[in-house]
Amino acid sequence: MNKIYLDNSATTITDEAAVKAMLPYFSDIYGNPSSFHSFGRQAKKALEDARIKTARLINAKADEIIFTACGTESDNIAIFGTVNAFGKKCHLIATKIEHHAVLYSFKELEKRGFAVTYLSVDKNGVISLDELKKSIREDTLLVSIMHANNEVGSLQPIEKAAKIISVLNKERRDKIYFHTDAVQTSGKISVNVQTLGVDLLAMSAHKFNGPKGVGALYIRSGVNISPIIFGGHHENNMRPGTENIAYAVGLAKALELSVDSMAQNSQKIKIIKEKLQDGIIKRIPDITINGNSETSISNVLNISFNYIEGESLLAKLDMAGIAVSTGSACASGSSEPSHVLSAMGIDPIAAQGAIRFSFGHHNTEEEIDYVLDVLPKIVEDLRKMSPLYKR
Ligand SMILES: *Cc1c(COP(=O)(O)O)cnc(C)c1O
């Protein structure tokens, strides 16, 4: 049996077509897009084509897209960039379940004297619009709410939040900006900056079968934003440094492929998820599903296997050739319960036994059959060794 990769929220395999699209830009077309000669112009053309394509796929204008080094950098530019441009202390809003790329940016701003409100979530991992409304202050500059959470997949009501903010913006002189981390949704569900109503939106190629180390940030035209690193005039003065043409091309190609086969892929992934979920419910007692399929993106299944440690289960599954995660890849290795599961009010013991299965369009039903063959025995064996288990 080949190894089974069920950790697609951590990263994905790069689609062959994306790799193929990138290759010429390592060798044949290697000019610097800032150069005026033909080598430079050729590279510039490839970069701008990638930008046009990326923009079109999220319904933005090409000059509203900058390429970055990753999703984390996109989030950092969105947050620190708007705060720096504002130039005064102010109030900011985020959620308790943001990815660390966003959460730690806000923690840093708190250290620098900014006031931050962290919105709570319900047991399904979804924010309350009422709480958002009540949290907005006279001096609120930026609201950051992720599109879908990376640990449990919960989708946030971005469009409705944007409406609340836009109504307030009509009444106020200062503009409140709205950022969303769409790293877990781009390429998987419709990401349309016009219907979402956001001012800033972060993406990362390696979460939608593109290469690692390249991201994009949508910056609605008119947003008052400053760069956070300094150098040249690249990327609309927002992200200096010679552009990574190959990776920008790879991002655009992977996003195009994902959007083109979105309906097909999401149907396939939904079947796979349901098969695993139903199979686990049928075969394994004392489990809890964290989050709710109705309000979640369908490529993530987060389950607590009560009385055992998620880490031990991950290790046993790995030995059986199955790759999963305990919540977020960044948090693994620490025995702190996940901040996302804690915010959802999940009991710390249950949170310790949580495993995230995340699916991609390369997964097959046969792989799920294999997981369902081996998982019950592994769980049973671990429970037998657990002092908490009393059966
Ligand atoms: C993976 C991820 C990021 C970070 O993206 P990188 O490209 O790995 O820096 C940010 N936000 C979310 C929700 C993610 O899942």
Q: Which tokens hold the place of 86? A: 């504002």
Identify whether 388 is part of a domain: no
Q: What CATH code is carried by the domain that includes residue 196?
A: 3.40.640.10
| Among 236, 260, 284, residue at a domain's last position | 260
- Determine the pLDDT at residue 337: 84
pLDDT tens digits, 263-315: 999 999 999 999 999 999 999 999 999 999 889 999 999 999 999 999 999 99
Q: What percent of the chain has pLDDT over 70?
A: 97
Whether pLDDT at 148 is above 60: yes
Residues 56 and 74 in one domain: yes
Q: Domain check: are 269 and 348 in the same one?
A: yes
Closest CA to 273 of 154, 185, 361, 354: 361
Q: Average pLDDT, whole number, for the chain? A: 95
Same domain, 80 and 224: yes
Of 281, 295, 279, 252, residue with least CA distance to 368: 279
pLDDT at 330 over 50: no
- Measured from the Cα of 204, ligand 1's closest atom is 7
pLDDT for res 172: 81
Q: Are residues 280 and 246 both part of a single domain?
A: no
Q: Tell me, yes or no, whether 34 and 120 share the same domain.
A: yes
Q: Is the pLDDT of residue 182 over 80?
A: yes
pLDDT digits (tens, 9 = 90+) for 205-233: 999 999 999 999 999 999 999 999 999 99
Enzyme catalytic residues: 330
- Centre of ligand 1 to C-alpha 179, Å, is 14
What residues make up the domain containing 106? 16-260
The answer to whether residues 292 and 206 belong to one domain is: no
**Are 288 and 350 a contacting pair, CB within 8 Å?**
yes
Instruction: Compute the distance from residue 300 Cα to the ligand 1 centre, in Å.
Output: 15
Asked if residue 390 belongs to a domain, the reply is no
Identify residue 70 by its one-letter amino acid code.
C
What CATH number does residue 322 fall under? 3.90.1150.10
Ligand 1 neighbours, Cβ below 6 Å, are 70-72, 99, 101, 146, 150, 181, 183-184, 204, 206-207, 215
Q: At what angle do helices 262-283 and 365-384 cross, to 10 degrees?
A: 30
In the predicted model, is pLDDT for residue 2 greater than 90?
no
Q: Taking 80 as the threshold, does the pLDDT of residue 391 lie above it?
A: no
Domain boundary among 239, 260, 281: 260
Q: Based on the structure, what is the number of domains in the chain? A: 2
Pocket test for ligand 1, best of 181, 208, 299 (most atoms within 8 A of CB): 181
Domain assignment of residue 99, yes or no: yes
pLDDT band at 334 (very low <50, low <70, confident <90, very high): low
Residues 42 and 170 in one domain: yes
Q: Hey, which of 74, 183, 186, 191 would you mutate to test ligand 1's pocket, going by the most ligand atoms within 8 Å of its Cβ?
A: 183
Name which residue sits closest to atom 5 of ligand 1, judged by CA. 71
Is residue 328 pLDDT above 70, yes or no?
no
